[in-house]
Amino acid sequence: MYQSVEETIRMVNDKFPGQQISQIFANCFRDTLDKTIKKEPDGSSFVITGDIPAMWLRDSTCQMRPYLMLADRDEALADVIEGVIRRQFYCINRDPYANAFNETDNGNCYMHDRTDMKPILWERKYELDSLCFPIQLSWMFWKISSRTSHFTGEWRTAIDKIMTVLETEQYHESRSDYRFQRPEHPFPDTLSRDGKGALVKEGIGLVWSGFRPSDDACTYGYLIPSNMLLSVVMEYLAEIADQIYHDSELSSRALQLSRQVRSAIEKEGVIDFYGDKFYAYEIDGFGQYLLMDDSNLPSLLAAPYIGYCSTDHPIYRSTKNAILSERNPYYYSGKCLTGIGSPHTPAGYVWDISLAMQGLVCNDPEEKLRKINEMTAHDAGTGYMHESINCNDSSDYTRSWFSWANAMYCELVLDYLGISLNPRP
């Protein structure tokens, strides 16, 4: 039992007395802490994603975000968050190319993939965002709680490994040894070219990613939303290097990468389409691109949420209009729901994460409340959120226990009530 959590639940209930919103919020807000977290003997916290018994670096960060807002007034809750950060950087030190980890070196895995697997790994899909989110969580936790005890020697060692991967993957074709193949599985569960993945033009400033946050393979190797997040968290890292580690070399290295990536996004990642400018979802540097968005974070829709730009940035506005329309092949409209889905789930299924994100990136309180009510009305009577929902039948959904979606619902409710996180340094 965490006092601040129960106080927050009571506060939400006072704002929505007797309403389903307050009950679902209570369910979701307690869920991650009660059911997904295991405190380890070393003081770290292992977090499963829900109905899969593994810890994703991305998911575990997003699962913690609603609790960050309470970390300055609840020491017990802050201990849990710090434990998650410690576990994340322990995992990165074990393998900076992996996306999901077991609690122990038990050899459990999703598939027997052809890659440099280790017993600690559940899956070894290299996803650029997996290296960004733990830095984001570390910085936000520091800023909110004022704690610095999570900035350990192990944290610093992991940062060296992260920087090596990032700088290597700017030159994926010539410098990277990463390979991934899932035998007898088609794209997007495996990488092309004997596991090397999508061919990209090297040295343009962007960082290659094998897989998207959905765990689907990238069509083109430069995933723009993940590079957006990278450009922001490198600014966080520079501040940490300066103020915590007093390491001017690391700070300069991080800022240089941040500037390279941002410059490349604005130069290579902006598509002029019949006079309108949009951010592409993926590019290869040779001129090919995808105009789409996916529900998983980071997404193009989430660019202001991750701190890359403001909501009134002109290219972001035109991009948002495009991806919330039929121009986006994964934008679905049905009898029950309208919103963004993912190629990771069946056609016509809208994700709760994307519905929450629509609310989080808008400045209109009434629109935020509409999204909350929309998500609330389509819980299929479960009292929880889901991965995706059939836009024509809300009783038909994927994943009955998806902690990340529960966290996003809570974050949107708190944001509507004026409790939100500032993603900028």
Q: How does pLDDT run across 82-121, given as a tens digit for each residue?
A: 999 999 999 999 999 999 999 999 999 999 999 999 999 9
pTM: 0.97
- pLDDT at residue 425, as a whole number: 56
The pLDDT mean for the chain works out to 97
Phi, psi of 231 (to 5 degrees): -60, -35
Contacts of residue 423, defined as CB under 8 A and 6 or more positions apart, other chains included, come to: 136, 140, 232, 305, 306, 307
Over residues 257-267, the pLDDT tens digits come to: 999 999 999 99
Q: CA 73, CA 93: separation in Å to the nearest integer?
A: 31
Report the share of the chain in percent with pLDDT over 90: 96
Q: Which pLDDT belongs to residue 337?
A: 96
Distance CA 299, CA 317 (A): 14
pLDDT beyond 80 at 149 = yes
Structure tokens given for 158: 């992991």
C-alpha–C-alpha distance, residues 15 and 351, integer Å = 26
Going from N- to C-terminal start, the domains of the chain cover 3-416
DSSP-derived secondary structure for 364-425: -HHHHHHHHHHHHHTSTTSSS--SEEETTEEEEEE-S-BHHHHHHHHHHHHHHTT-------
Q: Using the predicted structure, report yes or no on whether residue 62 has a pLDDT greater than 80.
A: yes
- Does domain 3-416 sit in CATH 1.50.10.10? yes
Q: How does residue 421 score in pLDDT terms, banded at 50, 70 and 90?
A: confident
> If you average pLDDT over residues 127-138, what whole number do you get?
98
Confidence of residue 67 (pLDDT cuts 50, 70, 90): very high
State the DSSP H helix or E strand holding residue 256, giving kind and residue range, or none if neither. helix 248-268
The 10s digit of each residue's pLDDT in 29-55 is 999 999 999 999 999 999 999 999 999
Residue 424's pLDDT is what?
67
* Per-residue pLDDT band at 1 (split at 50, 70, 90): confident
Give the whole-angstrom CA distance, residue 313 versus residue 405.
27
* Helix pair 20-31, 403-416: axis angle to 10 deg: 130
- What's the number of CA atoms in the CB half-sphere (13 Å) around residue 27? 18
Give the model's pLDDT for residue 273: 82
Residue 97 has a pLDDT of 98
Mean pLDDT of 315-319: 98
